[in-house]
Homo-oligomer: A and B are copies of this chain.
C-alpha cells in the first residue's frame, strides 16, 4: 500500500512547509502547552511532546532534564501573566488579587499544583510574583521575617488548596470519592465519631467564603504572629 507514492508525498511536504523547525527549549514548551490545554498534564509526556515535534523522545533531553522539569517549566510559563497582574487598592486587596490569579491557573490545571508541591519553584515568573508579594507585605508593615515566612505560607496554602479542590472537580474518580466522603460525614455514627456527627453540616459548608476566611486568617496571622514566641493558653 504505502511505498513509492508516500515517499513522494513526504518530499512534497518538505517543500511546502519548513516541516521541522529546529528544536528549541521554547518550541518544546510551546508544544507542551498546547498538549496541556488540549488534553491535560497527564498527556504531556516526553514521548507525546516528541511526536508532536516530529522527533524522538530522546532528543528532548538536551533541553529538559526530565519529565518533572518539563512540567515545572510549563508552570513557570503559565505564571508569566500572573507575575504581571495589574492590581489596585490597598495592599491587602492587591495581595489577594495576585493570589487569586495564581490560584486561577492552578485550578485550571490541578495536576500542575500537585507537581508544584514537590518541586521547589525557581522559575523567573515565580520569582517575580514572589518579589511583588514580598513588597506588598513589607508595605503593610510586616516585619522582615514575617513577610519572608508569610509569603511561603500563603503560596503553600494557595497551591495546596488548588491541588485539593481542583482535583476534586476535575476527575470523575475524585468526585466519586468526594461523594463517599460527604456521605461518610453526613451519616457519621455519633457513637464512633461524635464530633463529626455534631458538626457534619459545618464540615461540608462554605466554599468561596471558606477560602476567603482562610486567607484572612493567614494574612492577619502573618502580620500579627510574633516569631519564636510561644503562645500560652489562656
Contacts and interface: CB of A to CB of B under 8 A. Distances in A.
A209 B228 CA distance: 7
A216 interface: yes
Nearest to A89: B233
Given A128-B193, A202-B148, A218-B217, A122 B177 contact: yes
Contacts of A138: 195
A181 B217 contact: no
A122 to B, nearest CB: 4
Interface string A196-234: 101100110110011011101111111001011011010
Interface stretch (A3-11, A16-24, A26-34, A110-118): A110-118
Interface stretch (A39-47, A56-64, A151-159): A151-159
Interface string A131-169: 110110010100011011101110011011101100110
A177 B116 CA distance: 12
B160 A231 contact: no
Number of identical protomers = 2
Nearest to A217: B221
Nearest to A221: B217
A184 B194 CA distance: 50
A8 to B, nearest CB: 45
A54 interface: no
B118 A167 contact: yes
A231 B92 contact: yes
A131 B196 contact: yes
Nearest to A141: B234
A87 interface: no
20 contacts: A114-B114, A117-B117, A119-B167, A120-B178, A127-B192, A130-B196, A134-B199, A144-B198, A147-B199, A147-B202, A148-B199, A156-B157, A156-B160, A159-B160, A160-B160, A209-B227, A213-B227, A216-B225, A217-B222, A218-B221
Which A-B residue pairs are the 9 nearest by beta carbons?
A160-B160, A148-B202, A134-B195, A217-B221, A118-B167, A122-B181, A217-B225, A131-B193, A120-B181
